[in-house]
Homo-oligomer: A and B are copies of this chain.
Amino acid sequence: MSDPDRRVLGDMDPETFRREGYRAIDWIADYLAHPERYPVLSRVAPGDIARSLPAEAPEQGEAFESILADFDRLIVPGITHWNHPGFFAYFAITGSGPGVLAEALSAALNAQGMLWRTSPSVTELEEVSLGWLRRLMGLPDAFEGVIYDTASISTLHALATAREAAVPAVRASGMPGRPELPRYRVYCSDQTHSSIDKAVILLGLGHDALRKIPSDRAFRMRADLLAQAMEEDRRAGIVPMAAVATVGTTSTTSVDPVEEIAAACEREGVWLHVDCAYGGAAAIVPECRSALAGVERADSMVVNPHKWLFTPFDLSAFYCRRMDLLRQAFSLTPEYLRTAEAGAVRNLMDTGVQLGRRFRALKLWMILRYFGAEGIRARLVEHMRLARLFAGWVDAHPDFERLAPVPFSVVCFRAKPRGREWSEAELETLNARLLDAMNATGEVFLSHTKLNGRFTLRLAVGNLRTEERHVARAWELARTLLLEP
């Protein structure tokens, strides 16, 4: 069972790597050719996977071939297949072939980009590829970019920078035990992502410091109520620190009125961060460019290529007009990280809380080149076409209703069969059952949300493998399963 190279020290020998690498590539090629051979939502029960594995690491090493066989046999059944063309849950994020190969190359180089000198290409390709993306989205060059792992971390840095701007001497003196400090407020809408809540908690501002502004009937933040809330807080001695607007909220992909929110923030001198984690990619399509209107007035914004730009998880792009302030908040160079070129180059470790950075820019660069601007636009347009198609079917059917506009590629809907009155509780039971029944087929996976108290099904199109027939099948399942007892 043992490879010949196991008996010596060092790494897997290169010829074994080549042979086993081909084997892994074959597995992936076969998998990506037919991800729908698996049920999209894993069917294992809690604990099944853990119970199938020994409690201790093996004493002797094993051949990669048998590890890969166990992966296929024991691990893959516990995978929910984000590559399945019927994956319509959450945001249907999608990787891609060139992205997978870029990740393999990046893992092989194992370059750690904390300093420019620890791999100049990591720093400079990040700058170049984020420049490409910025121009594709039509954002001004004044936005300097940096790559983090997730939007949670991007937004955390946005709000940490807002705190640096708002709280005197916060870096050195902190916040507790300073009776001279007021309370601060961060604003977002009632549709904003939970990462804002977590950032506010982590930064020590307290969850109560987050004020959720009501949204309008189309789930967009009411900018008038935001302005009113800021005034009210000021009068009460609470200092407005930051506002977070969203382009593409998680439940409905609604787009906040960023222009008006920016105007309110400018009047109050408040940091504006825009969460475009999902919606930002759409701005690459000329007809959707207006979705980012006003974002050029923001202090910072985040867009996640790992959501809707064919990039394997994780890669979050953070753009900021005041990266100097972010560096002021976080840069800190111990002696063992000092370099002669520090004044002349960017050291990524200065731009955040994580010291180590893996080489994520490589996949973004390879993906943008492989598909080209044209190919990216065509795919985004197709996803939006499929969502509108589905929305049209819902609208035309007397037993279903749509619960939100469809600005991008997510449809919010529910069943509401004609011919009787329904209470909200009954509709929730009905739709929760319908959702479970659809997901139990293994052909599709949808998730839910609540909109104004209404239990809502979400169909999110975003995977590169999703075609019209998959969306049509989801619709067929919704209609037929609704009729079953």
Contact = CB atoms under 8 A, between A and B. Distances in A.
B170 A177 contact: no
Contacts of A27: 105
Interface in A349-370: 353-356, 358, 362, 366, 368-370
Given A22-B22, A181-B176, A50 B128 contact: yes
Interface stretch (A147-155, A261-269, A391-399): A147-155
A204 B336 contact: no
A203 interface: yes
A442 to B, nearest CB: 14
A30 to B, nearest CB: 7
A185 to B, nearest CB: 10
A56 B450 CA distance: 41
Interface string A1-30: 000001001111011111011101111111
A294 interface: no
A96 interface: yes
8 contacts: A17-B29, A50-B124, A57-B135, A61-B374, A78-B119, A79-B122, A82-B110, A177-B183
A78 B41 contact: no
Question: Among the interface residues A195, A334, A362, which one has the most CB atoms of the partner chain B within 10 A?
Answer: A334
Interface in A113-156: 116-122, 124-125, 127-128, 131-133, 135-136, 149-153, 156
Interface in A439-477: 447-450, 458, 464-465, 467
A-B pairs with lowest CB-CB distance, top 4: A174-B206, A12-B97, A204-B204, A78-B121
A382 interface: yes
Given A107-B312, A149-B149, A171-B206, 13 more contacts: A18-B26, A22-B22, A24-B25, A49-B120, A49-B124, A56-B132, A58-B369, A80-B118, A103-B106, A171-B201, A177-B184, A198-B353, A335-B448
